[in-house]
A and B are shown apart, each in its own frame.
Chain A
Amino acid sequence: QSVLTQPPSASGTPGQRVTISCSGSSSNIGSNTVNWYQQLPGTAPKLLIYSNNQRPSGVPDRFSGSKSGTSASLAISGLQSEDEADYYCAAWDASLKGVFGGGTKLTVL
């Protein structure tokens, strides 16, 4: 099982707001920043959110991230069909390893 815990699935209708949670521990999320990746079907992961709540150039402001203690969350507002993808949280661990969540499959109904 993954070091970071995410719900395996999430869903919403177009225009809705959905959130995806990511739970870790004091050795990873609690002491380092959280990053989020989006993986569209059949493609490589793409950086979506870095340093808890920063968006790389080109990522729509519909995507936002937050962190509190040993948990983080990704919010997607104004859900669109092209947002259907797998989403992964990630962080650096104090044991000098990278850690990922198990991924959340987002379905747009």
Chain B
Amino acid sequence: QVQLVESGGGVVQPGRSLSLSCAASGFTFSSYAMHWVRQAPGKGLQWVAVIWYDGSNKYYVDSVKGRFTISRDNSKNTLYLQMNSLRAEDTAVYYCARDVRDYGDYADYWGQGTLVTVSS
């Protein structure tokens, strides 16, 4: 069965960096686009970024453009999110999610999320 397991969350000071990982199993990882979606405490869902199946295209929400980088290693079945220059407003649970296609469309399976807290 499809399984997505995020890791790497924690408490980090404003301006610092953090890297998230998402280990995928139960499907052919290299055939699907992947998303990061976040949810601030008590708030709604916010789409963060998407990467095409082969890493050829990446798109970001404006608020993280230039600070966050989505990447993938298809040989390791792993999705990444490198977060730099973190701000308090980046505090959220970060979910990785599998797209139904090899390009961005919509997500069908989600991980359980990892909490990132940006605080001094």
Contact = CB atoms under 8 A, between A and B. Distances in A.
Given A44-B95, A44-B112, A45-B110, A37 B104 contact: no
Interface in A79-109: 86, 88, 90, 92, 96-103
Contact of B44 (A44, A56, A101): A101
A46 interface: yes
A50 B44 contact: no
B59 A46 contact: no
A86 B42 CA distance: 11
Contacts, number: 56
A44 B111 contact: yes
Interface string B3-44: 000000000000000000000000000000001010000001
Task: Decide if the interface of chain A is mainly helix, strand, loop or mixed.
Answer: strand
Interface in A11-61: 33, 35, 37, 39, 43-47, 50, 56
A96 B44 CA distance: 20
A2 B106 CA distance: 17
Given A97-B59, A97-B61, A47 B108 contact: yes
Interface residues of B, number: 23
A50 B59 contact: no
B59 to A, nearest CB: 5
B107 to A, nearest CB: 7
B79 interface: no
A92 B112 contact: no
A103 B45 contact: yes
Among B44, B100, B113, max chain A CB count under 10 A is at B44
A2 B61 CA distance: 12
A97 B35 CA distance: 11
A102 B44 CA distance: 5
